[in-house]
Chain A
C-alpha cells in the first residue's frame, strides 16, 4: 500500500508538447522516475507556462542537455543505459541525426526499449509531414466527420489526438517492459497518432471498406437511437445531452417529461419512426428542455432511467458535485504567480497510495542530482560541461 505501482522504473523522456509528455506524466504520477531531457534554446520563452507545460509535466525531473553537442549526446546515452524505457516524439529523422536513434542506443544498451511517436509515423511517403493535433485529426478523417452539416469541418476540443495517443503510449511501453522482465529482450516501438485515431473510429471506416458507403458528419445523432441530441436549456448557452435507446427508455422519457401523449403519437410509436421523424421530435424535446436548467433536465431524466447530462464548459466542470466528490481537481500551490489546480489521474486504484502529484520541475532543476548522483559524473566534469554550454 505504501508503494506506487511504477516505483523503481526509470524513463528517459525526450518528448515535448502534449502527447509524449502526457504519457510520461501518467507514469510519473504512478511512481516512475521520469527524467525529462530539455534544451533551453529549443523553445525560448514558451516553457513553463501553466497551460501547455505544467499540466503535462508534473512529478518529473528535468535536466538540460545540448543534444547538438556530442558531449550532451554522451550524457544522454549514459542516462539511457540506466533507464528502463526511452520515449521520444521528435519529427522523423531528428533523433537519428542527433546520434540517439534506436541503432545508436542499442550499441550502449542492447536491451533498450524505445518508443517513437509522431503524427503520421516514421514510415510512408508523408513521414516528414509536420503538424499538431489538428493536422493529425484532419489527415485521419476525424475532423471531416466532426462538424455541422452546413458548415466547415470542425475540430474536436481538447487536443484530442494527443491525449488519445498519450494514453496508448503508456500501455505500449508497459507491455514491452513486461516482455523485457520475462525475456530480457528490448525492442523498438513505432507509434502513429493518425493510425490511433483511425483505430478508434472503426464503425465509420468499416462501413466504407465493406459497404463502400461514404461517411457524412452526423453531428450529435446516432446511427439508431432517437431522440439523441443536445438540447438548449434555460440559461445562457446551457445545453443538455439526451440519449434514448430502448423502448423502455422511450416510455420512461415520455412519462418523465410529462408527455405521455408522445408515446401514443404514430410519428414516434417505434424506434424507426422516431429516427425518421427526429427533426419534429427534437423540436418537442427542446420545448421541454427550454423550461429547465441543464441539471434539472439531467436529474429528472436520470431518475426515470434515461441517459442525460449537461454539456459542461470549464466553469461547469469545476463546479460539478460529482467531479468534486471524486477528487478530480488537485490544488498544487502557486505556479508562476497563480494558484495551480491539476486535473487528477483519470483512474483510481484501491491498492495504491495517492498518485504522485509533485510540482513540475524548473528547467534543469535536477542537473546535479541526475548527472552527479545517478550517472556518476564528477563535480569537475559537471563544472566543465556547464562552462562549455552543454547543460543548457
Chain B
C-alpha cells in the first residue's frame, strides 16, 4: 500500500465534541493512526446530532460520524486509576496526544503535561481549551457562542446594522471557532513534529479557542491600536467602507464588487451604460464609496430582474467582476460546480448506512485523503488496543468493563 502523508504517526485523542476530534480527523484522514479515547458515556457529539430521521441514537450521530472517520475508538474512564494507567501505557508509544479538557481537571488527574512528560519525553501534547492554559479566564467555560463573541468576531457579524438595540452581534453559523481551533491545533502540532526532528524532544502546545478567532479580526485590532479608530457595527457611525450587503436577485441574493475602477467600468458595460452611471458622484473610487447609499438601489433595480445564475453569467463570465450568488445549503449540495468536483463524498457507515458527507478541502496527488474507514462505535477497538497493543488479557478487559473503566 502506498505511504500516506502521515503514515506511521501515532496519535492519541482525549478530546470531545468538535475541536479536538476535527484536529485528529485531519490527521487520520491523511493516514495517521489515531486512537480516540471516549469516556464510557461516549463523546458528546454522539448526543448532538443531526440524526437520520431525527431519531437520537449514540451510534447514529452524523456529526460524530463525520468528525471521527479513520480512527480507532476505545472507552476509558481516566477518572479511575486503572483508566489512567492504561492511558499512560498508550502514551509511552505515541507521538502526539491531542486533548481538550479543562486545565484544572488535567492537573487534578495528574495528566497535565509536566506530570506525563516523564513517561515519554518525545511526546507532543496539544491542548485545546476555551481560554488556554494560563491567564485569568483559564478556568472559565465557553461554548461556541461564547468563544465566537469573546474572540471578537461576533461584534462585526453579520455586518453594519441600522437598529442596534434590537439586533445583537451574531455568531457565525455552525461552530466556526471550534473548527478553526482544530485546524490550528493540527498545524501547530505539525510544527512541533518538525521541531522534534532536531531536538529529539516533545513539548506542550497551548491552543485557546479564542485566539485563532482573535487572529482573524487583526484588521480591526490594528485600526484601534495604531490609528485609534474603533470599527463599529452601527451603520450610522461606521467609517465609510464599500458595501458588501447582498443585492436582491429574482430568486435570492448576489454580491458584487464595484468600488475598484476596472470593475466599475466593466459593470457599466454589463448594465448597458444607463445614463446614471455617468453621474459625477459615481465617477471616482472614493466618490462611489461616499455615495454608496445612492448607488446601491440603482444597481439593485437591475439585479432584481435576473436570477442568481443569470447574474453569475453576466457579472462573472461576461464582466469578470467579483460576484457570487448567496447559496442556501441545498443550492450548494446540488450545484454543478461542487457535483463535478466531488465535494460531497459517499460514506458508508454500519449503523447509518450510506450518506453524503462533506469531503476534504484539498486534493493531494500522491498521498490521497481517505475517510473510507467509518467512525468507531463506542468501545469498538477496546480489545484490539488493550489486548493487542497494551498486552491486557481478554479476562482483564472483561473485568475492566465490569468495573466501568471501559
Does B351 touch A at the CB level, under 8 Å?
A: no
Beyond A151-B167, A204-B173, A231-B168, 12 additional contacts (C-beta under 8 Å) are: A130-B322, A144-B328, A157-B152, A159-B219, A170-B191, A192-B341, A199-B360, A209-B357, A307-B141, A313-B232, A326-B208, A346-B211
Does A47 touch B at the CB level, under 8 Å?
A: no
Question: A316 CA to B220 CA in the complex, in Å?
Answer: 11
Q: Interface stretch among A66-74, A180-188, A368-376?
A: A180-188
Does B306 touch A at the CB level, under 8 Å?
A: no
Please indicate which of the listed interface residues B230, B244, B337, B362 has the most CB atoms of chain A within 10 Å of its own CB. B362
Q: Interface stretch among A92-100, A254-262, A333-341, A381-389?
A: A333-341
**Chain B interface mostly:** mixed
Known: A3-B199, A5-B194, A144-B328. Is A121-B341 also a contact (CB below 8 A)? yes
List 19 A-B residue pairs with CB atoms under 8 Å apart, sorted by A's residue number: A51-B219, A121-B341, A124-B336, A134-B324, A141-B328, A158-B213, A163-B212, A163-B216, A182-B8, A203-B175, A205-B333, A215-B329, A230-B169, A312-B151, A313-B230, A313-B232, A314-B152, A314-B231, A346-B214
Question: A206 CA to B244 CA in the complex, in Å?
Answer: 29
B127-184 interface with A by 8 A CB criterion: 130-137, 140-143, 145-159, 164-165, 167-176, 179-180, 183-184
B191 touches A30 (CB 8 A): yes
Measured between C-beta atoms, what is the minimum distance from A295 to chain B in Å?
11
Question: A231 CA to B150 CA in the complex, in Å?
Answer: 13
Question: A369 CA to B204 CA in the complex, in Å?
Answer: 36
Known: A144-B327, A346-B211. Is A134-B244 also a contact (CB below 8 A)? yes
Does B320 touch A at the CB level, under 8 Å?
A: yes
B224 touches A232 (CB 8 A): no
Please encode chain A, from 349 to 363, with 1 for each CB lying within 8 Å of some chain B CB and 0 for all others. 111100000000000
A266-322 interface with B by 8 A CB criterion: 298, 302, 305-318, 320-322
Residues of B close to A141: CB separation below 8 A: 327-329, 331-332
Please indicate which of the listed interface residues B53, B165, B180, B218 has the most CB atoms of chain A within 10 Å of its own CB. B218
B217 touches A206 (CB 8 A): no
Partner of B183 from A171, A214, A326 at Cβ < 8 Å: A171
Residues of B close to A6: CB separation below 8 A: 191, 194
A205 touches B211 (CB 8 A): no
A146 touches B324 (CB 8 A): no
Does A107 touch B at the CB level, under 8 Å?
A: no
Does B405 touch A at the CB level, under 8 Å?
A: no
Does A234 touch B at the CB level, under 8 Å?
A: no
Q: Interface stretch among B44-52, B70-78, B287-295?
A: B44-52
Please encode chain B, from 69 to 93, with 1 for each CB lying within 8 Å of some chain A CB and 0 for all others. 0000000000000000000000000
CB nearest neighbor in A for B126: A347
Please encode chain B, from 264 to 292, with 1 for each CB lying within 8 Å of some chain A CB and 0 for all others. 00000000000000000000000000000
